């Protein structure tokens, strides 16, 4: 499983993944698993856990806003690491 960075729309998720890829962080657009947001269908960027810190730094440096951030919890679910 990947770390998940939520975005407020598909357009923002697309922009975020483009910025991440340009910044050297491989990322892909995914639909966030059910339960990670109370807003229905939410899109996210999936990145490896080992690149998560770098991904957040890249997004911050380019002033790309994102939502909550989750990592796998080891039991098939996710735990929030940034709100």
Of 56, 28, 54, 55, the closest CA to residue 43 belongs to 28
C-alpha 5/C-alpha 71 separation (Å) is 9
Place of tokens 């730094």: 57
> 0.95 exceeded by the pTM?
no
> What would the pLDDT profile of 26-65 be if each residue is shown by its tens digit?
999 999 988 888 777 899 999 999 999 999 999 999 999 9
The fold of the 3-82 domain, in CATH, is Alpha-Beta Plaits (3.30.70)
Region label for 26, one of left (φ > 0), alpha (ψ between -120 and 50) or beta (otherwise): beta
Q: Residue 1 pLDDT more than 70? A: no
Q: Where are the domains of the chain?
A: 3-82
């Amino acid at each position: 499983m990947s770390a998940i960075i939520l975005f407020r729309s598909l357009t923002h998720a697309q922009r975020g993944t483009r910025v991440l890829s340009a910044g050297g962080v491989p990322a892909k657009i995914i639909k966030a698993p059910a339960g990670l947001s109370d807003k229905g269908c939410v899109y996210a960027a999936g990145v490896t856990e080992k690149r998560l810190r770098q991904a957040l730094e890249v997004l911050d440096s380019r002033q790309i806003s994102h939502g909550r951030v989750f990592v796998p919890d080891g039991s098939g679910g996710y735990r929030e690491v940034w709100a």
